[in-house]
Amino acid sequence: MKAVHFGAGNIGRGFVGELLHESGYEVVFADVAEALIDALDAADSYTVTEIGEGGRTTVVTDFRAINSRTDEARLVDEIATADVVTTAVGPRVLPFVAPVIARGIERRIEIGQDAIDGGRIAVFACENAINATDILEADVRAALPEADADRLDAVAAFANTAIDRIVPAQAPDAGLDVVLEPFHEWVIDRTPFDGNPPQIVGVHWVDDLAPFIERKLFTVNTGHATAAYHGFARGIHSITDAITDPAIRAEVEAAIGETRSLLVAKFGLDEEEQAAYGRKIMGRLSNPELPDTVERVGRGPLRKLSRAERFIGPAAQLAERGLPRDALLRAIADALRFDVPDDAESVELQRILREEEPDGAVTVITGIEPAHPLFADLLEVFRARTR
């Protein structure tokens, strides 16, 4: 079995790549980072070490690497004969990897690979975004010739997925090795596979993915980013120091308490089970053996403040239901103060706040229109930031 994975970073190597390796796949990593690809090409193995209670060490072997910028033809051939394609590149990069996946599917049809063993290639976008695989599928379909686009459902199965694992900043001398937390969750929608999904160790297959996607994004990612932005606003450097500060910890607990109320109301989830999940997340975020910085966790604030993301997504739905969202609004307020010169999105965020009127900035940054019940709350937050 063979899997092609886009994104050879820490999540790609330490989480997705490791589980694919354990499942018996040869993994072909694709990335545009030349030094990283060269290092993978020169290595026979790398080590994934779980830090914390129950942690273990895994040596990953049987992989290759391709520079997706300079060796696209070889990558297309690898996709054409692959069983699985995965990504961990960031949601905004998906449109850039879709064309080469489309070319791989075209090649798969040309060589008749789609007629072998059922022939369908499984595609999973393992991103911190709601229904990221749907986005990837739409981009792939748009890149295909019309005849192949019409056949896409017969030759490829695109399934949405939710992934959850904390991978902190790595030591400067770590090389290819990855250190991460023992906990992990990879949930995939089984419905595109007609009862015969690919065999991947550690995957939880479900018929309804929506609760898992939003539970993870609106608890883990909301909590992590809340700690980062409150910590940054208070001059705290590390996530551990931020989450153990009593005032910030209370803010994080309040924020995920609000998202919990949304998840319970929306999906009918059990209140106490979700409270226990939240307590578990707080323990994970507080793990002192996984050091990280508020700047790294907070980077990319424009994406994190966008319409369907970890703050605006739940706050908007809470506003629509008339439920409290005060803690989320306080986190948003401190996110607007995230000013890091070497983070491009931070620079753009501050430019928008300087140059736009508050009512325009609300819609540009969050996607919330004036008629929405959250708009007035956000306008107050934005006005306070620009005073």
**Contact by Cβ (8 Å): 378, 332:** yes
**Contact by Cβ (8 Å): 277, 323:** no
Among residues 379, 324, 328, the alpha carbon closest in space to that of 356 is found at 379
Question: Which residue shows structure tokens 């090409």?
Answer: 41
> Is 21 annotated in some ligand binding site?
no
Q: Kindly give the pairing relationship between strand 185-189 and strand 161-164.
A: antiparallel
> Is 6 annotated in some ligand binding site?
yes
> Is 283 annotated in some ligand binding site?
no
> Is 367 annotated in some ligand binding site?
no
Crossing angle of helices 94-110 and 146-155, rounded to 10°: 90
Token pair, residue 384, equals 């306070």
> Is 4 annotated in some ligand binding site?
yes
Q: What Å distances lie between residue 237 and 45, 246, 247, CA to CA?
A: 33, 16, 15
Among residues 305, 287, 165, the alpha carbon closest in space to that of 226 is found at 305
> Is 157 annotated in some ligand binding site?
no
CA distance 98 to 194: 24
Residue type, 144: L
> Is 281 annotated in some ligand binding site?
no
By residue count, the chain amounts to: 387
> Is 3 annotated in some ligand binding site?
yes
Q: Could you tell me the sign of the dihedral formed by the alpha carbons of 133, 165, 249, 209, in that order?
A: positive
Cβ partners under 8 Å of residue 325, min gap 6: 258, 314, 315, 318, 319, 374, 377
Beta bridge partners of 204: 187
> Is 7 annotated in some ligand binding site?
yes
CA distance 227 to 245: 10
> Is 260 annotated in some ligand binding site?
no
> Is 13 annotated in some ligand binding site?
yes
Among residues 175, 191, 158, 22, the alpha carbon closest in space to that of 87 is found at 158
Neighbour tally for 267: CB within 10 Å: 14
> Is 311 annotated in some ligand binding site?
no
DSSP H stretches of helix in the chain = 10-11, 17-22, 34-42, 72-80, 94-110, 132-143, 146-155, 210-216, 222-233, 239-244, 246-267, 271-285, 294-298, 301-304, 312-321, 326-335, 344-355, 358-366, 375-386
Question: Which residue shows structure tokens 């070497």?
Answer: 342
Feature table: binding site for NAD(+): 3-14
Feature table: binding site: 3-14
